[in-house]
Amino acid sequence: MPRAILFPKPPGSKAVRFALDSAEARFLPPADLAALRKGAAGAPVHVFGKRAKDKQKWKDVAPGDIVLFVGGGGVHEVATVLHTAINRGIAMSYWPTESLQEPWDHLIFVARLRPSDFPYERLNTLAGYARSYVPQGWRVMSKEHSEAVLRGLGLS
Protein backbone atom coordinates (compact mmCIF):
# COMPACT_ATOMS: atom_id res chain seq x y z
CA MET A 1 0.00 0.00 0.00
CA PRO A 2 1.42 3.40 -0.91
CA ARG A 3 1.99 6.04 1.74
CA ALA A 4 0.38 9.47 1.65
CA ILE A 5 2.67 12.48 1.82
CA LEU A 6 1.27 15.84 2.89
CA PHE A 7 3.19 18.59 1.14
CA PRO A 8 2.34 22.30 1.58
CA LYS A 9 2.11 24.12 -1.74
CA PRO A 10 -0.02 27.23 -2.19
CA PRO A 11 -2.91 26.75 -4.64
CA GLY A 12 -1.99 28.15 -8.03
CA SER A 13 1.77 27.79 -7.54
CA LYS A 14 3.41 25.79 -10.28
CA ALA A 15 5.29 22.56 -9.74
CA VAL A 16 8.64 22.47 -11.55
CA ARG A 17 8.27 20.47 -14.75
CA PHE A 18 11.24 18.21 -15.39
CA ALA A 19 11.75 17.37 -19.05
CA LEU A 20 13.52 14.03 -19.44
CA ASP A 21 15.44 15.47 -22.39
CA SER A 22 16.30 18.79 -20.70
CA ALA A 23 19.74 20.18 -19.95
CA GLU A 24 19.12 19.38 -16.27
CA ALA A 25 18.56 15.70 -17.09
CA ARG A 26 22.27 15.42 -17.89
CA PHE A 27 22.92 15.56 -14.14
CA LEU A 28 21.10 12.27 -13.58
CA PRO A 29 22.88 8.92 -13.77
CA PRO A 30 21.52 6.72 -16.61
CA ALA A 31 19.79 4.36 -14.15
CA ASP A 32 17.84 7.25 -12.56
CA LEU A 33 16.82 8.59 -15.96
CA ALA A 34 15.71 5.10 -17.05
CA ALA A 35 13.60 4.72 -13.87
CA LEU A 36 11.91 8.05 -14.57
CA ARG A 37 11.18 7.18 -18.20
CA LYS A 38 9.74 3.82 -17.23
CA GLY A 39 7.64 5.20 -14.36
CA ALA A 40 6.33 8.20 -16.26
CA ALA A 41 5.28 6.17 -19.31
CA GLY A 42 5.04 9.37 -21.34
CA ALA A 43 3.32 11.48 -18.65
CA PRO A 44 4.87 14.83 -17.66
CA VAL A 45 7.31 14.62 -14.76
CA HIS A 46 7.58 17.24 -12.00
CA VAL A 47 10.24 17.60 -9.34
CA PHE A 48 10.53 19.23 -5.98
CA GLY A 49 13.44 19.34 -3.60
CA LYS A 50 14.02 19.16 0.13
CA ARG A 51 17.09 20.07 2.13
CA ALA A 52 19.33 17.57 3.93
CA LYS A 53 17.75 18.51 7.25
CA ASP A 54 14.64 16.65 5.99
CA LYS A 55 16.63 13.54 5.03
CA GLN A 56 14.90 11.21 7.53
CA LYS A 57 11.45 12.01 6.13
CA TRP A 58 12.78 12.00 2.56
CA LYS A 59 14.15 8.47 3.06
CA ASP A 60 10.60 7.28 3.80
CA VAL A 61 9.34 8.38 0.37
CA ALA A 62 9.08 5.56 -2.19
CA PRO A 63 7.88 5.11 -5.78
CA GLY A 64 4.12 4.67 -5.84
CA ASP A 65 3.50 6.91 -2.83
CA ILE A 66 0.84 9.59 -3.30
CA VAL A 67 1.68 13.25 -2.67
CA LEU A 68 -1.22 15.34 -1.41
CA PHE A 69 -0.43 18.99 -2.09
CA VAL A 70 -2.14 20.99 0.64
CA GLY A 71 -2.90 24.67 1.11
CA GLY A 72 -5.79 27.08 0.87
CA GLY A 73 -8.02 24.96 3.09
CA GLY A 74 -7.45 21.49 1.71
CA VAL A 75 -5.83 19.09 -0.74
CA HIS A 76 -5.75 20.88 -4.11
CA GLU A 77 -3.49 18.59 -6.17
CA VAL A 78 -2.28 15.00 -6.02
CA ALA A 79 0.59 13.23 -7.76
CA THR A 80 2.33 9.85 -7.74
CA VAL A 81 5.98 9.49 -6.70
CA LEU A 82 8.16 8.03 -9.45
CA HIS A 83 11.65 8.26 -8.02
CA THR A 84 13.85 9.93 -5.43
CA ALA A 85 17.46 11.03 -5.82
CA ILE A 86 20.07 13.25 -4.24
CA ASN A 87 21.37 15.54 -6.94
CA ARG A 88 23.05 18.89 -6.38
CA GLY A 89 23.31 19.73 -10.10
CA ILE A 90 19.56 19.60 -10.64
CA ALA A 91 18.91 21.38 -7.35
CA MET A 92 21.20 24.29 -8.23
CA SER A 93 19.69 24.54 -11.72
CA TYR A 94 16.17 25.01 -10.36
CA TRP A 95 16.69 26.48 -6.89
CA PRO A 96 20.04 28.32 -6.68
CA THR A 97 21.09 29.13 -3.12
CA GLU A 98 23.62 31.40 -1.52
CA SER A 99 27.01 29.74 -1.01
CA LEU A 100 26.45 28.98 2.69
CA GLN A 101 22.89 27.68 2.33
CA GLU A 102 21.99 24.03 1.97
CA PRO A 103 20.81 23.14 -1.53
CA TRP A 104 17.36 21.62 -2.15
CA ASP A 105 19.10 18.48 -3.43
CA HIS A 106 16.97 15.70 -1.92
CA LEU A 107 14.67 15.34 -4.91
CA ILE A 108 11.24 13.78 -5.30
CA PHE A 109 10.06 13.19 -8.86
CA VAL A 110 6.32 12.84 -9.42
CA ALA A 111 3.97 12.24 -12.36
CA ARG A 112 0.26 12.24 -12.97
CA LEU A 113 -0.15 15.62 -11.26
CA ARG A 114 -3.87 16.30 -11.18
CA PRO A 115 -6.25 18.74 -9.50
CA SER A 116 -8.10 17.72 -6.38
CA ASP A 117 -10.62 19.29 -4.05
CA PHE A 118 -10.65 17.72 -0.59
CA PRO A 119 -11.12 20.12 2.33
CA TYR A 120 -8.95 19.73 5.43
CA GLU A 121 -12.01 18.66 7.41
CA ARG A 122 -12.43 15.56 5.23
CA LEU A 123 -8.70 14.78 5.29
CA ASN A 124 -8.59 15.21 9.07
CA THR A 125 -11.62 13.01 9.65
CA LEU A 126 -10.14 10.21 7.56
CA ALA A 127 -6.72 10.50 9.24
CA GLY A 128 -8.16 10.75 12.75
CA TYR A 129 -6.67 14.22 13.26
CA ALA A 130 -8.38 17.08 15.07
CA ARG A 131 -10.97 18.73 12.81
CA SER A 132 -9.11 22.03 12.97
CA TYR A 133 -5.68 20.57 12.07
CA VAL A 134 -3.81 22.45 9.34
CA PRO A 135 -0.67 20.73 7.97
CA GLN A 136 2.48 22.70 8.78
CA GLY A 137 5.58 21.53 6.95
CA TRP A 138 5.61 18.28 5.07
CA ARG A 139 5.07 14.79 6.45
CA VAL A 140 4.98 11.19 5.36
CA MET A 141 1.85 9.79 6.96
CA SER A 142 1.93 6.52 8.89
CA LYS A 143 0.87 3.39 7.02
CA GLU A 144 -2.41 3.28 8.95
CA HIS A 145 -3.25 6.94 8.30
CA SER A 146 -2.16 6.63 4.67
CA GLU A 147 -4.42 3.66 4.05
CA ALA A 148 -7.44 5.38 5.62
CA VAL A 149 -6.85 8.66 3.77
CA LEU A 150 -6.07 7.18 0.35
CA ARG A 151 -9.04 4.80 0.47
CA GLY A 152 -11.35 7.51 1.78
CA LEU A 153 -10.31 9.93 -0.94
CA GLY A 154 -10.55 7.23 -3.65
CA LEU A 155 -6.83 7.36 -4.39
CA SER A 156 -5.80 3.76 -3.68
pLDDT of amino acid 156? 81
CB atoms within 10 A of CB 113: 18
Res. 124: pLDDT tops 90: yes
Sorted by where each begins, the domain ranges of the chain are 4-152
Residues 2, 24: Cα–Cα separation, whole Å: 28
- Condensed to tens digits (0 to 9), the pLDDT of residues 52-105 reads 898 999 999 999 999 999 999 999 999 999 999 999 999 999 888 777 788 989
Query: 98 versus 36: which is more confidently predicted?
Result: 36
Any idea which fold 4-152 has?
ph1033 like fold (3.10.590)
